[in-house]
Structure formats: C-alpha cells, structure tokens
Structure 1
C-alpha cells in the first residue's frame, strides 16, 4: 500500500478509521431506522440480493447493515443478530446491471485451473504473515492448483498464470490512491524493478478468455476514486471488467488474521459442493459470517469483505 495507511499485518482494529458502522448503513440505506419489511425472517434458506448502489452508498458495506438497539426496549440478545441484513439475505454487489447480466453467462468447467499467489515477503513492503497460509488453504481445496509464493510471484509469472487459469487467488498487497487517475494495482515480488500489476495488464492477459473468479485478499481493492464515487473505478471493478465473473474484494484495509480465517472458511465451504454462481456467493457470505462470529466487537475487521458477481 502507498502512503501512511496501516499494513495488512498490523492494521488498526478501530471502527473509527473511516469504516462506516453497520448501524449507519442500516439507517441510511437498507433499513431507514427500522426493520425492512422486504427482508425475510430468520430460519429460512436465505435468498440472494444484489446491491447496485450509487453515489456515496457505492462504498458502503450494505450487506453488513444492522439496526441500532432500541433504548426504549430491554436488550434481547436472542434476536439482536437476526435483524441484520447478513442474517436474512446473501448479498452480492454489481457495479452495473449490464455487468451482472454479462457475467451470468460465464461457466466453469469440471476441473477449474486454479492459480494461488501468496506474498508473505515482498521487498520494501510490510510482511504478511498469513499470505502463504492462504495459498495452502487454496491448494487443499484444489490440489492441482498452481502455487506462486514470494519470489515465485514475479510480475511476469503472475501475468502468465492469469492467461492460463480461470480461478485466481491473490494474497498480498495492493495499492489504491483515491486521488489518482487509475484503478489501483497489485504488488508483485519484483515490483521495484518491473513495476506494479495494473488493471490494464490484467485486461490484456484476459483479452482472449473469460475467467470465473478472482479472490483479492488485499487491502482497498474496492476503494473507488474520490472524484468518481458513483462508478466502480477501483481494482476489483477493473478486474471484473477485464473478464472475471466473480470478484471477492475489500472496501478498506483487511486485518491479517481475519483475512486468513475468511479464506479458510471460503474454501472449506466449497469442499464437496459443485461450484456455481450461487455457491461462490454463499461461500463468501459464509466466510463473512464466520469472521463476524470470531470478532463480534470488531465490525471493521469483516464488514469490508464482499462478493461481486452473479
């Protein structure tokens, strides 16, 4: 990451670091201060919902919205959690309806080609203790996956992998400057000599094919430009536009141990299940729920994690 933002391995756990609270999302968007009648009750198989937000809402974790407790009523811990959006629907995000419609036509073969990139030690950057452990989690789910760890994850090697794989997991560092005129980039091991991996590079690598999923376990991958908040002008949006039907991304910096937990939970959920658009979305939802249960007092640790796609 660039500038003074905290590293992925030592990020602030405070909700005061710019992350909107679940209650704020509820009162300003999904609930308007009350329980939305459209949300189904708890206990049923949760339906899918796609958020196609505009303006300032495009950077808010609407999937994590929950109501503020009513001071006029006694606390009821048995129902507190089930009033939140994540307990009632499985949320996904779509930058535009046309992108959503286009991505629904993408299919995955019976034997997906999986690329797993983990950068624990990147020269000149903070150490990411869990990055290679995320690669291990991917490889347990997909034993034939191609792993690239640390110095193996050069810019050229990652680009070559993007051309030949339809499922990519990147656990490392990304940079997104909201004031810059670009969509952000990924940082490979040899970035100092070869430069970053930009969305244009990814689009060129994907020009001849359509891929299924890009899991971006990196900071700020869905943090848009300050002057174009109404558009998906960020790394995740650029990756999806480049040809990936599904993108798992983060609105703001990830907490390292939580990122590892969500990766493990995501791939554990997929074990034994046929991979489809629906199972990918439910795996991401399952991972976010597990992180919430693990750190109930740290909403900023899990609310940034979200799924984009069909």
Structure 2
C-alpha cells in the first residue's frame, strides 16, 4: 500500500509539472504533435529547485498518449545555453568506437547489486570488442586510465549523491573508501575522444542543495570532462527494468554517431507504456548533451 501511495504521489507531481511548467512551454513552442509522430528535440536548462525535478517525464500519463512530454518531445538537459551551443557545433569525425564496461556489484560498505553484474555482462555482449572491468579490478586508477582509451563508458553499480556538497558525489568504484571517483575528480579529466557515457547507478544526475544553478552531478561532470552524451538517473531504479532499458538503449544506438537522446527516449517511453501507473520505474532516466 505504501508503494502504491508513493507511485500515485509521484504521478500527481508529474501531472502538476505538466500543468504548470512543461505543458505551457511545449504549447508555446507549438509542439502539439499527434501521438505516434516522431517527436522533435527539446533541451531543458533548469535552475534553482526545478533542477531536482523530472521535467522530461512530466504529464498526465494515466490518460494515455497526449498530454505528456514523452509523447511530444525528445528531452535532453544542458548546464547552460552557452554549453549547449558549444556542444552542438559541428564536430570532427568521431574516432572509431571503443567500449568500456565497468561493474561494481559488491563495492565495500554498500549493499550487493547482483543486477549490476548481469547488466554489465549483457551490455558487454552487445558491444563488439568491449572491455569489461569488474569487481576488485574496478579501482579508481584502473577506471580513470581506461577512460582515456575508450570512447564509450557503461557503468553499472552504486552512485552516491551528496546534497550538501555536490562536488563530492561519486561513483562507488572498488576502492572508493580511500580513492573516491567524485564529481570534482571526474570533471577535471580531459577526454577529447569521449563520446557517450551511460551511468546505470542511482542519483547520477542529482545536483546539490548548495549548487542548484550548476550541473554539479556525475552526469554533468562527465559531460565537462569531454563526453558529448551522458545518460544518468535522478534516483535509484529497479534492477530488472534497468537491465531492460540498458539493452534497449544499446540496441537503439547507431555507432559511430549515436543518437543517444532518441535511443533513451524510445526505451523510456516503451517502459512507460508497459508500466504507466509506476513512474518510479521509468521517470528517472535523463540525457545530457547535444
């Protein structure tokens, strides 16, 4: 009953967001396309408290296709208008894709995540030539070194958000207690060949209370480090659904020019259509980038 009440409350918040924020914006832009049409792209650049809210998932989902952002637009996020303009400039031909999959199913001082190992194995099997770093081998040094040699990253494991000090939010690599992979550390990396990062971990796109106007979260940090496209989440998601969405996204990405936003949008909308009354399963996923 508590879970049901929570889903109903979240659904109510998504409807309110549509009525007060995203619905009027899309109407003003003339984005009222019929259900089933190929939706256009929209970039959200929230500041202040709205930075915590799933604008991309707003809508009256119980009604079916129509008054929802998912049915009218493919959503992405950007830290600033300038950053968005820069990231949308024509780029040189991207390098040949090379894939890195990192799995941390049993990070120290964190509960086990058996689904992380399953997802990592499934994703690595779908990506030709992917390198898998898992378990005790997935240290901060190993991951940072491998990032320089790969254009795509898929991380499966724990993420830890630090609302009071957002720059301290981190991915739980195996030695995170002594050598954390934080937002601050990630954003200082220089990865000019990086193309796409998929963070299958909780709260990788949640900003801190003290930096509401900045993209101080793990997804934003990887974007600043050089990844053109970053997929993250606002909260912890179900292991089974996470695996299904990851597989759907990987199948929808077209190397060497990944249409990451559309691949994620299609996977999330498909999941929403299957579980419309359970928004916690699909409303958390976001895309950051051009």
How far off its partner does 1:101 sit?
2.2
2:41 to 33, 42, 48: 48
C-alpha distance 104-68 of structure 1, shift in aligned 2 (>3 A): closer
Maintained 8 Å contact 1:26/1:33:
no
Distance 2:264 2:93 in 1: 17
- Relative to structure 1, is the Cα distance of residues 20 and 209 closer, same or farther in structure 2, using a 3 angstrom cutoff? farther
Q: Secondary structure at the match of 1:227?
A: coil
Aligned partner of 1:91 among 62, 75, 94: 75
| In structure 1, C-alpha distance between the alignment counterparts of 2:120 and 2:284, rounded to whole Å | 21
Partner of 2:283: 303
Uncovered stretches (5+) of structure 1, i.e. residues with no partner: 1-11, 70-76
2:167 matches 1:182: yes
8 Å CA contact 2:186–2:218 kept in 1: the answer is: no
Q: How does 1:227-266 map to 2 (within 5 A)?
A: 227-266=210-249
TM-superposed CA distance for 1:249, in Å, is 0.8
> The residue matched to 1:130 in structure 2 has which SS?
helix
More helix by share: 2
* Aligned-partner Cα distance in 2 for 1:191–1:34: 42
Give the alignment partner of residue 181 of structure 2, picking from 180, 194, 197.
197
| 2:42 matches 1:62 | no
Q: Distance in 2 between matches of 1:122 and 1:214?
A: 20
Q: Among 19, 22, 25, which residue is 1:27 paired with?
A: 19
Name 1:141's counterpart in structure 2.
126
Match of 1:161 among 143, 146, 149: 146
1:280 to 237, 246, 260: 260
What's the secondary structure of 2:195's corresponding residue?
A: strand
2:157 touches 2:172 (CA, 8 Å); kept in 1? yes
Uncovered stretches (5+) of structure 2, i.e. residues with no partner? none
8 Å Cα contact 2:97/2:255 also seen in 1: no
Whether the 8 Å contact between 2:105 and 2:157 is mirrored in structure 1 is: yes
CA distance, structure 1, for counterparts of residue 194 and residue 116 of structure 2: 23
Partner Cα separation in structure 1 for residue 148 and residue 255 of structure 2: 24
Decide which of 81, 86, 94 is 2:65's aligned counterpart: 81
TM-score of the superposed pair, with normalisation by structure 1? 0.83
User: Across the two proteins, how many residue pairs are aligned to each other?
Assistant: 285
Contact 1:123–1:190 (8 Å) recurs in 2: yes
Q: How far apart, CA to CA, are the structure 1 residues paired with 2:10 and 2:180? A: 26
TM-score by length of 2: 0.88
For CA contacts below 8 A with separation 6 or more, give which structure has more relative contact order.
1
Tell me which of 99, 107, 112 is aligned to 1:122: 107
Following the alignment from structure 2 to structure 1, what is the Cα–Cα distance between the partners of residues 93 and 8?
40
CA distance in 1 between counterparts of 2:245 and 2:166 reads 31
Pair 129,294 (structure 1): closer, same or farther in 2 beyond 3 Å = farther
RMSD: 2.6
Helix, strand or coil at the partner of 2:228: strand
1:63 alignment partner, SS class: helix
**Any idea what the Cα deviations from partners look like across 1:53-107, whole Å, max 9, x if unmatched?**
22222221112111387xxxxxxx6xx3232110121111111122222223455
